[in-house]
Amino acid sequence: MVLGCKTGSCKICEKEGKTEWHHIISQHHAKKTGQNHLIYNPNNVVELCRKCHNQTTASKSRYRLIKQKESNQRKEYIEKRRIEREKGENQQQPVIQTLEKDSKDDIYEEITEIINLVTKEFTKAKNSIGKDVTGFLNHLLTGK
């Protein structure tokens, strides 16, 4: 976009420093109304510092729209999580009902079997580690 050289001076507050181009008739409106020539027209822009540019109507509208979009996304996320939670609760009910139908003895046997399997695996791992440590210590002490 060729709009000329910046002077580095804000046209509103007159401070010197980094400036930005501000389109008087917005680029969006120019495109929407078929006035594309306004996008590149040097008479349709003013040089503003960031602080002043953020106070323009277009910047405030853009900020409001961004915040509104973020708010809507949060609401959608919360609603989605609520629906997932309800589905999860509905899926868990049949499992609970099935457990209530099982006898206490069957549940006790299953839990006991699981505990025994875990205990066996833990014991194997403990013995394996013990052998490794013992072998390593013997190697350090005897050099063999």
Q: In this predicted model, what pLDDT tens digit does every residue of 79-133 receive, in sequence order? A: 888 888 887 766 555 544 554 555 566 777 788 888 888 888 888 887 777 777 7
Task: Please indicate, yes or no, whether the overall pTM of this predicted structure exceeds 0.75.
Answer: no
Is 41 strand, coil or helix?
coil
Count of positions (residues) in the chain: 144
Q: In this predicted model, what pLDDT tens digit does every residue of 12-51 receive, in sequence order? A: 999 999 998 898 888 888 999 999 999 888 889 999 998 9
| Sign of the CA dihedral with 31 first, then 36, 38, and 42 last | positive
Residue located via tokens 């025994």: 116
CA distance linking residue 102 with residue 13, whole number of Å: 79
Is 136 strand, coil or helix?
helix
Tell me if 25 sits within 8 A of 38, measured CB to CB: yes
